[in-house]
A = this chain, B = another copy of it.
């Protein structure tokens, strides 16, 4: 009988082990992908790709283990050799090999379809996406998603520190919070079901249980527009909090969260930030402007006519972003008090003017990355608003149950993770910052 006790020590090292300095002049063992091979005659340079970066290895004819086999991009190796400082090599060291063991090989006669070892993949987005499983092996491409990982980690850390509970709400649902046509339908054992457009109903429900909750999970929108900023599946960073004094509490929480998260990135993802030359924005002094005022301000400054006082066009968002960058040097701006007719039935109307709501969007470099606001918490008020909108409260019994038995004043928001990453990295298309994007024409890879 064998017993499994935990991780066994191995003599295989990582880049960070060698960077401690204690391995220079000593024999080291490393494993990694063959990233490039450069034959210089007497010697060859073999660069290995590992999760932490690249390692330059030097081989010559005395190296054992290959038996005439040629090294090839896409192989994986275990190498043994002496580590030595070398300023011209990645990470400032190289390994002078004595032994190579081939762990795996690519298909016979295969050639890499993209020059993934180049610094920048100078290929079209279309090509990159079609070859995503390989394109992501490029060091810069993969750095994008380390930064995205950091954004989620920062968000979660901050949430826990501020006593939010993490919840996992269902993605297959009987009805949807946002309504409208952009919902994916599926057959569910003879019943009609949908994919959740947001965790809205469930996160509100969970406020009745834990006071403050959050979730970072996929949401699904059957949007038919094929734009540079829409996805049909994306990650939503949601939080919802009870006992608020107003929707301003939600904006305060978001500003604090962003500030924390950018600090977290600076500390934990410095390598990737440098690799992609990212300048982190400030989020601790974000201007907040009413929807109607914002429209007025950009109409005046940029000499534009206001076509529809109750809607914000993408160009207006861009101009609002520009205005607050120019006038207040801020990459962010909260636009508050969206018109009621543009907000869902659960949004709380402004008691001083019910054509508007106690809600907001956060624009980041001219693009909406967050929608949030205070929700209705009173049962009768919620039923009234539904009826006024022509909705049947009977269809929402499970949702209305929480108000019937009491809910604290509450509100929350949802952040589009891929858009947040996109604007942070100054990318032009949200697909650049989505691992495997889903859009109207793309379901693979």
Contact = CB atoms under 8 A, between A and B. Distances in A.
A243 B51 contact: no
A367 to B, nearest CB: 18
Interface of A: 1-8, 10, 12, 14, 31, 33-34, 50-52, 73-76, 103-108, 110, 112-113, 131, 133-134, 136-137, 142, 145-146, 148-149, 152-153, 160, 162-163, 165-174, 184-189, 191, 193, 195, 202, 205-206, 208-212, 217-218, 220, 222, 224, 232-233, 235, 242-243, 245, 248-249, 251-256, 259, 284-289, 328, 334, 377-380, 398-399, 401-409, 417, 435-436, 438, 440-441, 443-445
Nearest to A142: B209
Contact of A443 (B146, B188, B248, B407): B188
Given A193-B443, A205-B445, 16 more contacts: A3-B286, A4-B251, A4-B288, A5-B284, A8-B252, A51-B163, A76-B406, A106-B405, A145-B165, A153-B166, A168-B218, A168-B417, A171-B233, A174-B443, A188-B232, A398-B445
Contacts of A245: 10
List of 7 A-B pairs having minimum Cβ-Cβ separation, nearest first: A74-B406, A398-B445, A106-B406, A107-B379, A6-B256, A51-B211, A76-B408
Nearest to A31: B243
Given A104-B377, A220-B172, A259-B6, A112 B51 contact: no
Contacts of A108: 380
Contact of A286 (B4, B171, B212, B379): B4
Copies of the polypeptide in the assembly? 2
Contacts of A4: 248, 251-252, 254-255, 285-288, 334
7 contacts: A6-B252, A33-B208, A51-B163, A76-B242, A103-B408, A149-B165, A171-B171
Contacts of A31: 243, 408
A406 B111 CA distance: 10
Contact of A104 (B285, B404, B408, B443): B408
